[in-house]
Amino acid sequence: MPEPELWPNEATSSAVGRALTDVEAIARRAADEGFGELVDVAQDTIAALDDLATQIDATIDAQDEDGDRG
């Protein structure tokens, strides 16, 4: 079954969500393995991805309100 077509910001939001999931998994594994420095980097990356996701979602919401999307 083909994936539904996404608007550019929705596709970006989806990609950021997948990246966030991956980095969270890396952080958990790094913590389990005792790599504290990697955990710190992963946490910084998680925070940045979370901020990016918030900005993208706000853009999508604004487009919905403005009627800029189908």
| Enclosing domain of residue 47 | 8-65
Residue 62, pLDDT score: 87
Per-residue pLDDT reduced to its tens digit, 17-52 = 999 999 999 999 999 999 999 999 999 999 999 999
pLDDT exceeds cutoff 80 at 67: no
- pTM for the model stands at 0.77
Question: How many domains is the chain partitioned into structurally?
Answer: 1
Q: Is residue 53 part of a domain?
A: yes
Return d(Cα 6, Cα 49) in angstroms, integer: 20
- The DSSP code sequence of 7-23 is -HHHHHHHHHHHHHHHH
Is 14 a member of any domain? yes
Q: Within a domain: residue 36?
A: yes
Q: Label residue 5 by pLDDT band (50, 70, 90).
A: low
54 has pLDDT over 90 = yes
- Two tokens at 9? 């910001």
> Would residue 70 count as lying in a domain?
no
Nearest to 7 by CA among 53, 65, 56: 56
